[in-house]
């Protein structure tokens, strides 16, 4: 199903992003642009993301290079807030 009409992001796109190592909703937004325009899909996108995260452990810990990138993204988000 299409979750974000503005950017044509589907539930499968979100699940695929989590499977590839996206562990943070804000990173998902950066990567896919889901829930970043009108915001109408935010709750649905968050629900799909949370369900995908519940079914898959965070791959960041298993991929040291990805973990560093993930930490940098969190630091950037923290300073932007």
At residue 56's C-alpha, the angle toward residues 52 and 58, to 5°, is 105
* 25 or 75, higher pLDDT: 25
Residue 66, Cβ neighbours under 10 Å: how many? 17
- Provide the domain count of the chain: 1
What's the rounded Cα separation, in Å, for the pair 19 and 38?
Answer: 26
Note if the pTM is more than 0.85. Answer: no
pLDDT for 78: 61
For position 15, which CATH number holds? 1.10.10.1100
Place of tokens 């799909």: 48
pLDDT, tens digit (0-9, with 9 covering 90-100), for 5-64 = 999 999 999 999 999 999 999 999 999 999 999 999 999 999 999 999 998 765 555 555
pLDDT for 71: 63
Domain around 57 = 2-80
pLDDT for 47: 97
């Amino acid at each position: 199903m299409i979750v974000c009409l503005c950017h044509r992001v589907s539930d499968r796109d979100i699940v695929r992003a989590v499977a590839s190592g996206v562990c943070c909703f804000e990173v998902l937004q950066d990567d896919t642009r889901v829930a970043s325009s009108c915001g109408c899909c935010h709750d649905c996108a968050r629900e799909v993301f949370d369900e995908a995260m519940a079914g898959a452990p965070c791959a960041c810990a298993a991929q040291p290079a990805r973990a560093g990138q993930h930490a940098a993204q969190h630091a950037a988000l923290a300073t932007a807030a």
